[in-house]
Structure 1
Amino acid sequence: MTDNHRAPTGPAGPAPAVLAQNQYGKAETRVVRITRDGATHHLKDLNVSVALSGEMAEVHHHGRNTNVLPTDTVKNTVYAFAKEHGIASAEGFGLLLARHFVTTQEPIHRARVRIEEYAWDRIEAPAPRPAGTPEPRHSFVRRGQETRVTQITYDGARWEVVSGLTGLVVLNSTHSEFWGYTKDPYTTLPEAYDRILATEVSARWRFHWSDDAEPAPAWDTSWTRTRDHALQAFAGTYSLSLQQTLYAMGARIIEHRPEIAEVRLSLPNKHHFLVDLEPFGLDNDNEVYRVADRPYGLIEATVVRDGVEPRIPVDLSHP
């Protein structure tokens, strides 16, 4: 009987196993940093994942932990850095962490830091307040499902910073059409000349910056302006297809944000279908829609600055 599980053999016997790419670290360390500025408090809420790689053959082959920085230490570093350095931006905090692990631990050659930032809005203080009492500004409410994300990679010499967002839900109630498409015997979709266009934006953008000798971008300002340009393009495009809208969003970012080299967008089409109200003796003049959550069309593409090679992975769950 043939043994299908036997290792391949050759003149030298069974082929040896070889350790390939490997990494380890601490995933999803939640850290909230509150900065108290008198009656006004500022809040940063991050979810930090760190992955380290380098000279780790001994721990894999022989269980020798000499080169292993415990993942519990990685977690503690995140908390300590939040206290010692504050969190001005997700990108800046990630840079500090990545540099620390690579430059203080000789066996570690590469650090990858992924950060999700959760946004909070202030809750206005109840009125009335006694005369002369400053308005308290220390209550917050979590904002929707939108999440800011960033990934920082450092190899001891060069940086790569990819930032972006997920869960940004947008909708145009008009100025969208879809017609003139290919039809075959299985096509049942009617052409639309005035439809709802809705999507939940996942976006990543890669910065030109990679060298400590160059000034780093203003991370928070860049992220806010980039998001604004994506929204302005979505709202300002008379859309004949979601592909057209996607390209307009990416192109506007490239044209207006010189610090960004590449934009990757993933736009699921959150379908809204007109409800047939005729059985009830009612007209439906683009007023009542049925929202279908699945299946859905998924439109994805990368827009790059002329002359730039794309490097953001297609799978935006792992930028």
Structure 2
Amino acid sequence: MAETSRPAGPAVLAQNQYGKAENRVVRITRDGATHHIKDLNVSVTLSGDMDDVHYSGSNAHVLPTDTTKNTVYAFAQRYGIESAEQFGIHLARHFVTSQEAIRTARVRIEEYAWDRIGAEDGGHSFVRKGQEVRHTQVFHDGTSWQVVSGLGDLVVLNSTDSEFWGYAKDEYTTLPEAYDRVLATEVNTRWRYGWTGEGDAPDWNASYAETRRHLLEAFAGTYSYSLQQTLYEMGARVIGERPEVDEIRLSLPNKHHFLADLAPFGLTNDNEVYLAADRPYGLIEATVLREGREAAIPVDLTNL
């Protein structure tokens, strides 16, 4: 490629990228009278030899973002959507290998799940699931791969088996100690797979389902003295049970439930009636790593 000249002056172009965000694609697979739905929100980001377009406006190395959009829909037809991870891999490989100027591709995907309404409809009526959103990010630089998956907006609650006491106090502390409290949170998590392109890829769908199961079982099965303890148990359970996962990062807002004061009405409240407060809220975040493992390609797991 020709050497790029930049305008004179102290300014120099640094990290840059471009792409098409939030391509909403629904793929319906018709298996006779039974239909299957994959509902994705796909964002593609490309980077590489893009100095000329910034310095002089030359678009010679720029693949239009409209082309990126078209590729998403064409690939949904050509390859189908077995999993969000595999679909992202198809896209990332295509952009890096088909355009000399493109050196890296990042594909971020949100997947929205649907449940069947009933068998009597012949298998083609669905209701949108309201539990969580599945997330995937695929990063490819022509040699290495990084796949980060996760979920968000999964609200969980333990109505007992949670305490919070013995904490540091100062002159501004008013929170009473709790020996039997409601523990509720919204699970937002990302996990990084150890697979970097060598050997067989994980079964993405099975891995997602099992990781989700372990997160929920750890939350339900932990007698909690702090949300931090619960977070660690959830992450450690995934690392211990899913060998394909090397790192998991969790962000857990504490959805506070305060006992309602019913004394003015002459009523007792034996841990039965609560005020659910949506803000302000405590926010507990941490990463649990497989010992001895490091990220091959740095990525912000909290901003997937």
TM-score normalised according to structure 1 size: 0.90
Report Cα offsets for 1:162-214 as digits up to 9, x if no partner.
Answer: 10011000000011010111111111111111110000010000000002x31
Q: Percent identity of the aligned residues?
A: 71
Is the contact between residue 234 and residue 248 of structure 1 (CA under 8 Å) also seen in structure 2? yes
Aligned partner (choices 133, 140, 156) of residue 147 of structure 1:
133
Paired residue for 1:187?
173
Q: Which residue of 2 aligns with 1:96?
A: 90
Q: Hey, what's the Cα distance between the residues in 1 that align with 2:51 and 2:291?
A: 41
Aligned mates of 1:308, 1:292 — CA distance in 2:
39
Superposition map of 1:218-297 within 5 A: 218-297=203-282
Q: After TM superposition, where is structure 1 displaced by more than 4 Å over at least 4 residues in a row?
A: none
Secondary structure of 1:144's match?
A: coil
State how many pairs are aligned: 295
Q: Are positions 1:177 and 2:171 aligned together?
A: no
Distance 2:64 2:9 in 1: 33
Residue ranges of structure 1 left out of the alignment (5+ in a row): 1-13, 127-134
Q: Give 2:22's aligned residue.
A: 28
Match of 1:313 among 292, 300, 303: 300
Instruction: Please name the residue that 1:66 is paired with.
Output: 60
Q: Distance in 1 between matches of 2:151 and 2:299?
A: 14
Q: Which amino acid aligns with 1:174?
A: T
SS at match of 1:65: coil
- Residue aligned with 2:113, SS: strand
Partner-residue secondary structure (3-state), 1:249: helix
Q: Provide the C-alpha distance between the structure 1 equivalents of 2:57 and 2:9, rounded to a whole number of angstroms.
A: 22
> Per-residue deviation at 1:313?
2.8
Deviation at 1:124, TM superposition (A): 1.3
Task: Quote the offset at 1:220 in angstroms.
Answer: 0.6
Question: CA–CA distance in 2 between the matches of 1:108 and 1:185?
Answer: 57
Q: Show CA shifts across 1:246-279 (max 9, x none).
A: 0000000000000000000000000000001011
Amino acid at match of 1:250: G
2: CA distance, partners of 1:189 / 1:288: 18
Rounded to whole Å, the distance in 2 between the matches of 1:49 and 1:210 is 21
Q: Which amino acid aligns with 1:264?
A: R
Aligned to 2:5: none
Select the structure of larger CA radius of gyration.
1
Displacement after TM superposition at 1:309 (Å): 2.9
Q: Match of 1:285, SS?
A: coil
Output the aligned Cα RMSD.
1.2
Letter in 2 for 1:192: A
> Aligned equivalents of 1:300 and 1:72: distance in 2?
37
Contact 1:264 1:312 in 2 (8 A): no
Read off the aligned partner of 2:173 and give its amino acid letter.
Answer: T
- Please name the residue that 1:46 is paired with: 40
Q: CA offsets per residue over residues 197-254 of structure 1, 9 Å max, x none?
A: 000010000000002x311011010011000000000000000100000000000000
TM-score by length of 2: 0.95
Structure 1 residues 54-95: Cα deviation after superposition (integer angstroms, max 9, x where no partner): 111111111111111000000000000001100000000000
